[in-house]
Chain A
Amino acid sequence: MSRLNGPVRFRGSGFAPRDNAWASAGTLLGLVALWQIGASAGLIKSLFLPPPAAICAALWHLAVSGELWRHVSASLIRLGWGWLSGSLFGIGMGLAVGLWSAFRSPGMAVVAALFPIPKIALVPLFIIWFGIGEGSKIATLAFGVFFPTVIATAGGVDNVPRGLIRMGQSFGLSTWTIVRTIVLPGSLPAILSGFRVTSSIAIVLLVAAEMIGAEQGIGAFVLSAGNLYDTDNLLAGIVVLSLLGLIVAWTIGRLERALLEWR
């Protein structure tokens, strides 16, 4: 037999991770500082990995010359249209799959068959269908964004408590009102989580699409710099893409905070 004598030990800590913006920024800046120190000390050869200072200089040069904005604006337009159209069609299809039997099995069969296809492999086909211009690039992005959006939305609809839908029916609300006021807001957390995934997929596909038959855009710029072994500009382009990813993730985070205030 043992004896207890003393204050009760607190055992309820942990399992409650919190966001810390300073820790995020500090980690990134710390890594960049280490990289710069390594390069300045001669531990990292600039031929293999240019130092952050050289990348910043390249970025500054690109910004001053106006070249940066020319590429970024072309990419942003493609990203905007591609992601928006893929998301809108995806949400529509996801709602249909989640709500109506007529769409459920056929829709999920199409998604299961087409989602795993590498979208890059379809770029030549899109060029034949939509031409070498903007159409094929936007279609590549939209196609890549569409399927994960369908899956996220349909999953979100499935997770809306059926009791809430029955409540709406019991009060005689129309199908459209139930979809608008119960199903859509209820599946919004899943749709916004899907946005996080699809925005990253869209950036990856943007670069890939711009590497095939584009003169402007971050992807085209990175490809051109790579072909010339201009590693400063190559990494400057990659930094821009990384910043784009950060801005998109931050925007979605703000959107979540604004739209899901009720949670």
Chain B
Amino acid sequence: MTGLRLTLDGVCHAYRDLTVLDGIDLTAEPGEVTVLVGPSGCGKSTLLGIMGGMLKQSAGSVVVEGDIAADCLNPLTYVFQDFSLLPWRSVAGNIELVLGRCPDRVARIAEVLALTGLTEFAGAWPRQLSGGMRQRVGIARALAVRPACLLMDEPLSALDAQTRDLLLDEFSSIIARAGTTTIYVTHNLSEAVRLGQQIVVLSRRPGRVREIVRIDRPLAGRRARDPDLLAIEERLWRTIRDDAAAAERERIDVPA
């Protein structure tokens, strides 16, 4: 298996007086898809930011280990919720930007465009593309740098349900083929069970690891409405709901 191992030890994060994450211990294994789920505001995206080196934790450590392939240009690579495409660059131009002076950039652009089905749109402006196509450009851009770890921050949440479902299938086949370590943040539990090999449920703020669920089934065989996956989804939902109910009880019990 390729990819990096990310180990988080006692990671905490606070925005001034507001504690967002509290003592997160977690290991993302090489080549595995780790999905972070939890209620809104539990710090999923903050945790992803810390794992990718875009945010500094208040306490604890994040250690990355593993071999990096010679052709990898950016070991920890993000895929953003809002696509983050430069509107003044074409599809190919957006991918080219992150390849710098890489000698085989033309071949790489052609390869990832073919992989994401965007070859015909290489010269299009981002504004000319649908939301789903824009996110495919985001994926193509991320894959072009041959990452050792993909960090995906709710990449499907800005899309309609139909596009989401189609892209989910594409994601799982691309991730399975690339074999990179993937950290995937979502609030959608059906996405979590379709993609996750390790699903980390975070509690309400301050986010703590509430439960870790493992699904040892290959990504390729997972389908929507699979009874086993639906059962896991139901279990995850119960965990999140019970946590929310407990937090609500605590709020009522504590006098103002």
A residues whose Cβ falls under 8 Å from a Cβ of B: 163-164, 166-173, 177, 181-182, 185-186, 188, 260, 262-263
List, in ascending order, chain B residues with CB within 8 A of A181's CB: 86, 89, 97
Contact of B86 among A164, A166, A169 (CB under 8 A): A164
Tell which of A170, A173, A181, A188 has the most Cβ of chain B within 10 Å.
A170
Q: Are B84 and A164 in contact (CB under 8 A)?
A: yes
Told that A186-B86, A262-B125 touch, could you supply 12 new A-B pairs with CB distance under 8 A? A167-B78, A167-B80, A170-B74, A170-B77, A170-B78, A171-B74, A171-B77, A173-B97, A177-B100, A181-B86, A188-B88, A262-B88
Task: Collect the chain B residues with CB atoms within 8 Å of residue A163's CB.
Answer: 80, 82, 84
Closest residue of chain B to A172 (Cβ to Cβ) is B74
Give the distance in Å from the alpha carbon of A164 to the alpha carbon of B100 in the complex: 17
Residue pairs across A and B with Cβ atoms less than 8 A apart, 8 shown, are A163-B84, A167-B80, A169-B54, A170-B52, A170-B78, A185-B88, A262-B88, A262-B125
Q: Is the CB of B98 within 8 A of A171?
A: yes
> Is the Cβ of B74 less than 8 Å from the Cβ of A262?
no
Provide the B44-84 mask, 1 if CB < 8 A to any CB of A, else 0. 00000000101000000000000000000110111010101
| Chain B hits for A171, CB < 8 A | 74, 77-78, 97-98, 145
CA distance A171 to B229 in the complex (A): 34
The docked-state distance in angstroms from the alpha carbon of A173 to that of B77 is 12
Shortest distance from the beta carbon of B208 to any chain A beta carbon, whole Å: 26
**In the complex, how many angstroms separate the beta carbon of A178 from the nearest chain B beta carbon?**
10
Pair B145/A262 contact, Cβ less than 8 Å: no
A167 touches B84 (CB 8 A): yes
Tell me whether A166 and B97 are in contact (CB under 8 A): no
Q: Which of A171, A177, A182, A185 has the most CB of B within 10 A?
A: A171
Across chains A and B, the number of contacting residue pairs, with CB separation under 8 Å, is 47
Per the bound structure, the CA–CA distance linking A172 and B97 in Å amounts to 11
Contact between A262 and B87, CB atoms less than 8 A apart: yes
Query: Chain B's nearest CB lies how many Å from the CB of A261?
Result: 8
Complex A-B, nearest 8 residue pairs according to Cβ-Cβ distance, in ascending order: A167-B84, A171-B98, A262-B88, A170-B78, A185-B88, A172-B74, A163-B84, A262-B125
With beta carbons under 8 angstroms apart, the residue of B52, B80, B82, B127 that contacts A262 is B127
User: A185 to B125, alpha carbons, bound, how many Å?
Assistant: 15
- Chain A, residue nearest B84 (CB): A167
Number of interface residues of B (CB under 8 A): 20
A173-B98, A262-B125 known; A166 vs B54 contact (CB < 8 Å): yes
Q: When chains A and B are docked, how far (Å) is the Cα of A185 from the Cα of B85?
A: 13
**Chain B, residue nearest A174 (CB):** B100
Identity of the chain A residue whose Cβ is nearest the Cβ of B144 in the assembled complex: A171
A260 to B125, CA, bound (A): 12
Residues of B within 8 A of A173 (CB): 97-98, 100
CA distance A168 to B74 in the complex (A): 11
Cα separation A186 to B80 with both chains bound (whole Å): 19
In the bound complex, CA of A170 to CA of B79 (Å): 10
Given the complex of chains A and B, what is the CA–CA distance between A20 and B42 in angstroms?
A: 53
Q: Which residue of B lies closest to A259 (CB)?
A: B88
Q: Chain B contacts of A263 at CB under 8 A? A: 87, 127
Expressed in whole angstroms, the Cα–Cα distance for A263 and B126 within the complex equals: 10
CA distance A177 to B89 in the complex (A): 14
Across-interface contacts of B77 in A (CB, < 8 A): 170-171
Most chain A CB atoms below 10 A, which of B76, B86, B100: B86
Specify which chain B residues have a CB less than 8 angstroms from the CB of A167 in the assembled complex: 78, 80, 84
CB distance from A186 to the nearest CB of B (A): 8
Q: Which residues of A contact B54 (CB under 8 A)?
A: 166, 169-170
Query: Bound state CA distance, A228 and B51, in angstroms?
Result: 77
Residues of B near A169 (CB, < 8 A) are 54
A186 contact set on B, CB distance < 8 A: 86, 88
Q: Which residues of A contact B87 (CB under 8 A)?
A: 262-263
Contacts of B97 in A (CB 8 A): 168, 171, 173, 181
The CA of A186 and the CA of B86, in the complex, are separated in Å by 9
In the assembled complex, the CB of A28 is this many whole angstroms from the nearest CB of chain B, namely 34
A167 CA to B84 CA in the complex, in Å?
7
CA gap between A173 and B100 in the complex, in Å: 8
Chain B residues contacting A188 (CB-CB under 8 Å) are: 88
Instruction: Determine the distance from Cα of A163 to Cα of B86 in the docked complex, in whole angstroms.
Output: 10
